[in-house]
Amino acid sequence: MVIPSLIQHKRDGHALQPAQWSELIREYTGGRVPDYQMSALLMAVVWRGLAPEELAALTDAMLDSGDRLRFDGFAMSRVDKHSTGGVGDKVSLLLAPMVASCGVAVPMMSGRGLGHTGGTLDKLESIAGFRTALTLQEARAQVERLGCAMLGQTPEIAPADKRLYALRDVTGTVESIPLIAASIMSKKLAEGLNGLVLDVKTGSGAFLPQPARAIELAQTMIGLGQVRGCPTVALLTAMDRPLGRACGNALEVEEAIEGLSGEGPEDLMEVTYALGVEMLLLVGAAKDAADARSRLEESITSGKARQKFAQVIEAQGGNPAVVEDPSVFPQAAEVEVYRAPRDGVIAQVEPRRLGQAILELGGGRRAIEDEIDPSVGFVIPAKPGQRVRAGEPLASVFARDPDGIEIGLAALREAIVIKDKGRLTRLITHRVTSDGVTQLT
């Protein structure tokens, strides 16, 4: 292949042939195309986009660069949920055991924290001993036994995406709708699913803050899923404030367990139920939305979902005692309350600033080899629209030392904006399917 001419062609706004994309991805994954040429091509895609046939060929080539989870002869339907990422988004931790308790298998493959957003794998690893690096055989065996496994992208799944993603992360080429769509869908389509639900975040804490761009991303991923035998539906949900109260790895798992115990914050439960309803409907496991919702509620009131989570933790080497006793989680050495500096109404709780502060506190990675401190973060019960009095507690910072407390308090001072007026925006704004977009009112 003559890579420079492909780069020039794309740079000048022309489409590459599907066969050229297939060969390019094969050569790149095989180490025969250097990163500098691939970076130039990715930047051309950021500027020029991809024609539908190019996107299809790129996604298929990434998917075919590795193996897939295979469930031949396994009768249970399989469904997963993917979030485009946010702050305080611990929905996966609740949904996987809830949906599995309703008799639908969930082979959930998740990622690590990315930029200011948290990752399900990092959260799960705050449970002592929890092993997210399952092999494909282990994942399949666990899904068949328990109806649920929670794992990371194995080396066999979409290795082209693994390389490309690392390259995009350091070359300013993440924020491209076709590249994000191909990256996410090449992994999800390798899970052997019968349905996929996407939680596409919008607002200041999302990678694509504008609703119109989020809808375009949702439609692009739905298009890829539908024609590859994986019915796909998306909900657009607000990430202009953190979801729930807890932000930070162990704190979020603790809050997810509260949710599984029937004591979760209202916004977290609303998003969880809405996505869960879509998951059950997609694979025909409920008559209608009301039936799906009541089955999911029953998974909580009966204690089945909580028990399922304990079984998954135990099966993956973690300490299931966390489900009964939150003191088993790693505890922050320092905790400090942040109080309202004035009377007024909360106008903003800015998630991006809080996510960046969690990184500074040691709760995320700045370099691949960084160790995460699972205990650090925030608990922020305050929400936009809430009237507050000066001196009222709004949030707590969890840090490993007094310097961390200062970092956390400074972030809260900037992130929580109090004015004379403020309001909470709608939590779930749009439903997107292959038939179109519905604005929810």
Catalytic residues: 82, 161, 168, 183, 187
**How many beta carbons lie within 10 A of that of residue 290, not counting itself?**
10
DSSP letters for 4-64: HHHHHHHHTTPPPPHHHHHHHHHHHHTT-S-HHHHHHHHHHHHHH---HHHHHHHHHHHHT
Q: Tokens 């609703």 — which residue?
A: 211
Cβ-contact 252, 398 below 8 angstroms? no
Cβ-based nearer residue to ligand URA, 68 or 339:
68
Least CB distance from residue 183 to ligand URA, whole Å? 3
Cβ-based nearer residue to ligand URA, 184 or 361:
184
Q: How far apart are CA 113 and CA 122, in angstroms?
A: 7
Give the CA dihedral 119, 120, 123, 125, nearest 10 degrees: -110
Taking CB under 6 A as the criterion, which residues in 169-188 touch ligand URA?
174, 179-180, 183-184
Least CB distance from residue 185 to ligand URA, whole Å? 9
Least CB distance from residue 174 to ligand URA, whole Å? 6
> Does residue 59 interact with ligand URA by CB under 6 A?
no
Q: How far apart are CA 311 and CA 392, in angstroms?
A: 40
Cβ-based nearer residue to ligand URA, 217 or 394:
217
> Does residue 154 interact with ligand URA by CB under 6 A?
no
> Does residue 46 interact with ligand URA by CB under 6 A?
no
Q: How far apart are the first and last CA of the chain?
A: 52
Helices (H), 147-288: 159-169, 177-188, 211-226, 249-260, 266-282
Mask of contacts with ligand URA, 65-104, x by CB under 6 A? ----------------------------------------
Give the CA dihedral 12, 13, 19, 23, nearest 10 degrees: 50
Mask of contacts with ligand URA, 305-334, x by CB under 6 A? ------------------------------
Q: Which of 204, 222, 193 is nearest to 59 (CA)?
A: 222
Cβ-based nearer residue to ligand URA, 25 or 250:
25
Mask of contacts with ligand URA, 104-123, x by CB under 6 A? -------x------------
Burial of 209 (0-12, 13-18, 19+ CB in 10 A): middle
- The residue type of 193 is L
Cβ-based nearer residue to ligand URA, 122 or 254:
122
Cβ-based nearer residue to ligand URA, 111 or 355:
111
Measure Cα distances from 51 to 21, 46, 226, 268 in Å. Answer: 12, 12, 17, 37
Least CB distance from residue 179 to ligand URA, whole Å? 6
Least CB distance from residue 165 to ligand URA, whole Å? 6
The count of chain residues that interact with ligand URA, using the rule CB under 6 A, is: 7
> Does residue 42 interact with ligand URA by CB under 6 A?
no
Binding region for ligand URA (CB under 6 A): 111, 165, 174, 179-180, 183-184
